[in-house]
Structure 1
């Protein structure tokens, strides 16, 4: 069962993730179903635009089904996980280069892989209920699905702050981070969906959008840009600890995350700044995902957060100071099965 529902109404192809009992978390079958639905929409001359939503009121998508991925890593050294990531990252690139407008409604919980299927869309809509972010460092993993590309496209260090803390953010902060474009109140969403059947997304969104309020991240940008500068995670935490109550609170949150994952995440973000495309970032992320998933912290983080739920992971190494440059560098090395190879981009319709 793919847990993907599709319906074409007027000129709109509506693709819905339909696994609400799991907050629409992505399985491999769902990734393949989404890809098939998008390719069908691209080939259908009657379809002029695509809408991606999640079933239920709680989430667009809470990310990938990491418990299944962790089990596969323990059974097969991640051969199934590798196939999942290859297909998922190809889906992320497909959405980014899709030849027709793609509207993604980022309602409720939108984490990790949920950003991957929405943050690369041409029209990204947050709502009153949006809680968006990349919590990977809380499970000993590193932001992927093009996260390192999205979080480094804007000036300053807001993306670094988001990635190293693993925090969730509301509508205004999502826009400040470059993960969304406009806010549409939830009571206007049915009208938005209906109008998309006959009108271009630009006109519809302009008519229904509202101001999302004040972004705390944008308000605190000068402070955050100073605190999260540089390529040394331990130095960032030390700087935060000396910066008053607000800085100490951020330092405490980072200290609870996997030190290994935090250090690798920071290096991945810094390297992504020098890359030329989303595709290049995805190729880098594939290497990092394969290596970090085999490290001890991924299995331990998923156990503590999602299996036993004791919220008491025992990280290896236990502190940032014990993470060596060689450990980090190893996560960017080639993997045995070779680098990610992405399909050619679809051509614009004639």
Structure 2
């Protein structure tokens, strides 16, 4: 497959995304190929660890390739998207619980589906160019691919803030928020990858890891915790509107571009997950309840139209006044019964 290079080099299973012209966006076939490779290598004693990287300077992976999702959804075929998401989520869970180290090198943009691929492994490397985000609310989805788990685990109310504003994290922000582990300057990566291939030992990353610069996100945490301490989207909006500070104004401006239904559902999902019972399976199940319904009942198709197809940046969101009834989020997140997500490979 020309979009991806999968091979074994030395002691490492190697996965390189190779669509730099498309910012290495993940296609459905790429997801399936990655899963097949992980299945092969799980019990291969010649493979000690997995290294995931990407071609080009601009992006590790900008997200999922959504053009076909839009085309099928507009034609009234919702099953293709449901199958895509179910299979992608199974891959995310597999990376999260993989029996061998998974080392990801995330330069440039890492967003949406790229987070699901790069941020669930055991060793998540970022650099001076890294920008990581969960921008799904801007197209009518909620942060998915297991991203809701990381948002629920982030310090204080950082998860709510990142989830509903699509704020891009620098390398240092990503480490603070729990989306990355190692800050290593990018010019060192080729030699490190060669050593990983030669030794099969992820511990070689430790000497190269530097203390990242100060996190801007961390500096704003006190404000974020105060502004986002509400139980619902309405509570948070009230806090923001009553605050005349610049940070609150800028935050509100970001949120005004997002799907209100998606934001309200994002906050609800994070609140349901937060606590001792949090698991990747629970996070993916809640995410799938929303994405399963996103084309038919949510804002997904309208969000894609406005951002990608017509590019008018003027989506006609449901609940455009941002007053989202609790019943609306309840509808998007209710259990799916026989259609519930299963993480068993049935293909």
* Distance apart, 1:23 and its partner CA: 1.0
Contact 1:101 1:123 in 2 (8 A): yes
Farther off after superposition, 236-245 or 98-107: 236-245
Describe the SS at the equivalent of 2:239. Answer: helix
Structure 2 partner of 1:348:
none
Structure 1 partner of 2:29:
29
Structure 1 residues 233-252: aligned runs within 5 Å: 233-243=233-243, 244-252=245-253
Farther off after superposition, 335-344 or 54-63: 335-344
1:265 matches 2:266? yes
Structure 1 residues 36-185: aligned runs within 5 Å: 36-185=36-185
Describe the SS at the equivalent of 2:50. Answer: strand
* Distance apart, 1:4 and its partner CA: 2.1
* Distance apart, 1:241 and its partner CA: 2.7
* Distance apart, 1:2 and its partner CA: 6.6
Contact 1:142 1:292 in 2 (8 A): no
Structure 2 partner of 1:310:
312
Instruction: From the superposition, tell whether residues 228 and 200 of structure 1 become closer, same or farther in structure 2 (CA, over 3 Å).
Output: farther
* Distance apart, 1:337 and its partner CA: 5.3
Instruction: From the superposition, tell whether residues 151 and 296 of structure 1 become closer, same or farther in structure 2 (CA, over 3 Å).
Output: closer
* Distance apart, 1:201 and its partner CA: 4.7
Q: Deviations over 1:172-198 (max 9, x none)?
A: 111111110111111111111011023
Describe the SS at the equivalent of 2:339. Answer: coil
Q: Deviations over 1:276-322 (max 9, x none)?
A: 3101111111111112232352111111111111212121221211x
For residues 132 and 233 of structure 1, what CA distance do their matches in structure 2 show? Answer: 23
Describe the SS at the equivalent of 2:295. Answer: helix
For residues 210 and 107 of structure 2, what CA distance do their matches in structure 1 show? Answer: 15
Contact 2:47 2:200 in 1 (8 A): no
Q: Deviations over 1:105-150 (max 9, x none)?
A: 1111100110001111000011111111100111111110011111
For residues 298 and 329 of structure 2, what CA distance do their matches in structure 1 show? Answer: 14
Structure 1 partner of 2:215:
215
Describe the SS at the equivalent of 1:110. Answer: strand
TM-score by length of 2: 0.95
Farther off after superposition, 239-248 or 92-101: 239-248
| Structure 2 unmatched ranges of 5 or more | none
Contact 2:240 2:252 in 1 (8 A): yes
Count matched residues: 343
Contact 1:90 1:343 in 2 (8 A): yes
Contact 1:2 1:33 in 2 (8 A): no
CA RMSD in angstroms, aligned pairs only: 1.6
Of 271, 275, 278, 1:276 maps to: 278
For residues 315 and 50 of structure 2, what CA distance do their matches in structure 1 show? Answer: 41
For residues 170 and 235 of structure 2, what CA distance do their matches in structure 1 show? Answer: 28
For residues 155 and 127 of structure 1, what CA distance do their matches in structure 2 show? Answer: 22
For residues 296 and 333 of structure 1, what CA distance do their matches in structure 2 show? Answer: 14
Describe the SS at the equivalent of 1:168. Answer: coil
Contact 2:101 2:202 in 1 (8 A): no
For residues 257 and 88 of structure 2, what CA distance do their matches in structure 1 show? Answer: 28
For residues 139 and 188 of structure 1, what CA distance do their matches in structure 2 show? Answer: 36
Q: Deviations over 1:246-272 (max 9, x none)?
A: 111101111121111111111111112
Farther off after superposition, 21-30 or 230-239: 230-239
